[in-house]
C-alpha cells in the first residue's frame, strides 16, 4: 500500500505545469495540433467504404491502443498507478468524451451539418462559464472576444446562423459542445495529474458501445489498414494531444483553438479529391484563423 501510494504521489506532477509563457505556448501548440488531427475525419470517412458503426468501432479500438501504448511507454512500471490516480474526475472526463462522441454522430443524423458546426463553435463560451463557476478561473476578455470572432467565422463558413430546423438534433449538438467544454475544464482543473488514462478509457468505451451495431469482421485488409490509420492519427492522436495540451492553457482558449478543426477539414478533402470549397468557406476559415492568431498575440502582449 505504501509503495502504491508513493507511485500515485509521483504521478501527480509528471510534467511541468508552471504558468510560464513557454508553457502556455506549448499548450496552445499542442491543442492546435490536436485540432489539425481531428480535422482529417472527413478525409478518412470518404476514403473508407464501410458503415459508420464499423468505422467507429475500429476507430475507437485503434485510438485506444495508441493512447494505451503511450501511457505504458510514459509510465512503465507505474502504469497501474497512473490509471488509479485519475480518480472520479478522470472517470468524469472519460464519460464526457464518450457521450460527446455519441452525441456528435447522432446530431449529424438528426440535424444539418451547419447547425452542428455553428453550435460547436459556442464551446469556448460554455467552457468559460463552467471554468468560472466550478474552477474559479476567469476568462480573459481578449479570449472571449476572439471566440466571438471565431463564431462569426464559422457562421460565414456555414452560410448563416443555425436553422434550428430540428430541435432534438440541435440539442444533441449543444450537449456535445457542453460535454467537450466540461472535459477541458476538468482536465485543466486536475492539471497536476495526467488524465491520459481517462482518454484511453473513453476510446475503449466508444468502441465497446458501438460493437453490437458494427460488423468488424466484414472489412478488407486495405480497409483495415486505413481504419488503423484513421484510429491512430485522427482519433487517438487527436484525443491524446487535446488531453495533454488542455492542462497548460485555460479551457476557454483550448476550446477556441479546437475551432481550428473547422476550417482545416475542407482543406484535406480539397487536397485529396480536388473538391474546391466555396468562397464562403475560405472567408469564414480565414476569420477563424485570424481570431486565433489575434488572441495569441493579445495574450503575448498582455504578458
Segments making up each domain of the chain, as ranges = 20-302
The Cα–Cα gap between 116 and 105 comes to 10
The Cα–Cα gap between 267 and 281 comes to 10
Instruction: Tell me the DSSP string of 119-186.
Output: HHTTHHHHHHHHIIIII--PPPHHHHHHHHHHHHHHHHHHTSS-----HHHHHHHHHHHHHHHHHHHH
**Residue 84, Cβ neighbours under 10 Å: how many?**
16
Is the separation of the CB atoms in 17 and 234 below 8 Å? no
pLDDT, one tens digit per residue, over 229-288 is 999 999 999 999 999 999 999 999 999 999 999 889 888 988 888 888 888 888 999 999
pLDDT(2) > 80? no
Closest CA to 299 of 187, 154, 152, 144: 144
The pLDDT of residue 163 is 61
Which residues have a Cβ under 8 Å from the Cβ of 109 and sit 6 or more positions away? Answer: 169
pLDDT(1) > 50? no
pLDDT, one tens digit per residue, over 45-66 is 889 999 989 999 999 999 999 9
Is the separation of the CB atoms in 50 and 223 below 8 Å? yes
**What b/e string do you get for 34-69 counting C-beta neighbours within 10 Å, with b at 16 or more?**
bbbbbbbbbbbbebbebeebbbbbbbbbbbbbbbbe
Distances in whole angstroms, Cα of residue 187 to Cα of each of 43, 149, 222: 29, 25, 36
pLDDT tier, 145 (very low <50, low <70, confident <90, very high otherwise): very high
pLDDT tier, 3 (very low <50, low <70, confident <90, very high otherwise): very low
The pLDDT of residue 13 is 41
Average of per-residue pLDDT across 154-176: 80
The pLDDT of residue 201 is 96
Residues above pLDDT 90, as percent of the chain: 60
pTM above 0.85, yes or no: yes
pLDDT tier, 12 (very low <50, low <70, confident <90, very high otherwise): very low
The pLDDT of residue 39 is 92
Give how far the C-alpha of residue 90 lies from the chain's centroid of Cα atoms, to the nearest Å: 16
pLDDT(5) > 50? no
Is the separation of the CB atoms in 259 and 150 below 8 Å? yes
pLDDT(24) > 70? yes
Residues above pLDDT 70, as percent of the chain: 90
CA-based diameter of the chain, in Å? 62
Mean pLDDT of the chain: 87
Amino acid at each position: 500500500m505504501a509503495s502504491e501510494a508513493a507511485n500515485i504521489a509521483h504521478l501527480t506532477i509528471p510534467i511541468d505545469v508552471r504558468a510560464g509563457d513557454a508553457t502556455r505556448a506549448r499548450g496552445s501548440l499542442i491543442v492546435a495540433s490536436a485540432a489539425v488531427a481531428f480535422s482529417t475525419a472527413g478525409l478518412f470517412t470518404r476514403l473508407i467504404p464501410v458503415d459508420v458503426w464499423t468505422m467507429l468501432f475500429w476507430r475507437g479500438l485503434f485510438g485506444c491502443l495508441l493512447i494505451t501504448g503511450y501511457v505504458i511507454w510514459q509510465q512503465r512500471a507505474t502504469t497501474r498507478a497512473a490509471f488509479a490516480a485519475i480518480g472520479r474526475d478522470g472517470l468524469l472526463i472519460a464519460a464526457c468524451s464518450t457521450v460527446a462522441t455519441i452525441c456528435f454522430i447522432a446530431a449529424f443524423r438528426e440535424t444539418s451539418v451547419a447547425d452542428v458546426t455553428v453550435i460547436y463553435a459556442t464551446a469556448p463560451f460554455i467552457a468559460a462559464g463552467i471554468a468560472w463557476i466550478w474552477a474559479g478561473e476567469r476568462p480573459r476578455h481578449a479570449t472571449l472576444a476572439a471566440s466571438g470572432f471565431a463564431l462569426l467565422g464559422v457562421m460565414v463558413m456555414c452560410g448563416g446562423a443555425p436553422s434550428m430546423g430540428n430541435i432534438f438534433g440541435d440539442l444533441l449538438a449543444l450537449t456535445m459542445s457542453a460535454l467537450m467544454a466540461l472535459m477541458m475544464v476538468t482536465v485543466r482543473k486536475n492539471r497536476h495529474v495526467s488524465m491520459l488514462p481517462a482518454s484511453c478509457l473513453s476510446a475503449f468505451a466508444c468502441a465497446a458501445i458501438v460493437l453490437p451495431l458494427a460488423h468488424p469482421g466484414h472489412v478488407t485488409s486495405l480497409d483495415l489498414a486505413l481504419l488503423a490509420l484513421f484510429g491512430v492519427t485522427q482519433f487517438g492522436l487527436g484525443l491524446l494531444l487535446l488531453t495533454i495540451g488542455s492542462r497548460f492553457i485555460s479551457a476557454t482558449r483550448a476550446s477556441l483553438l479546437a475551432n481550428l478543426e473547422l476550417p482545416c477539414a475542407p482543406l484535406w478533402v480539397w487536397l485529396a479529391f480536388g473538391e474546391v470549397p466555396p468562397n464562403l468557406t475560405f472567408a469564414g476559415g480565414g476569420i477563424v484563423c485570424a481570431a486565433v492568431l489575434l488572441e495569441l498575440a493579445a495574450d503575448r502582449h498582455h504578458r
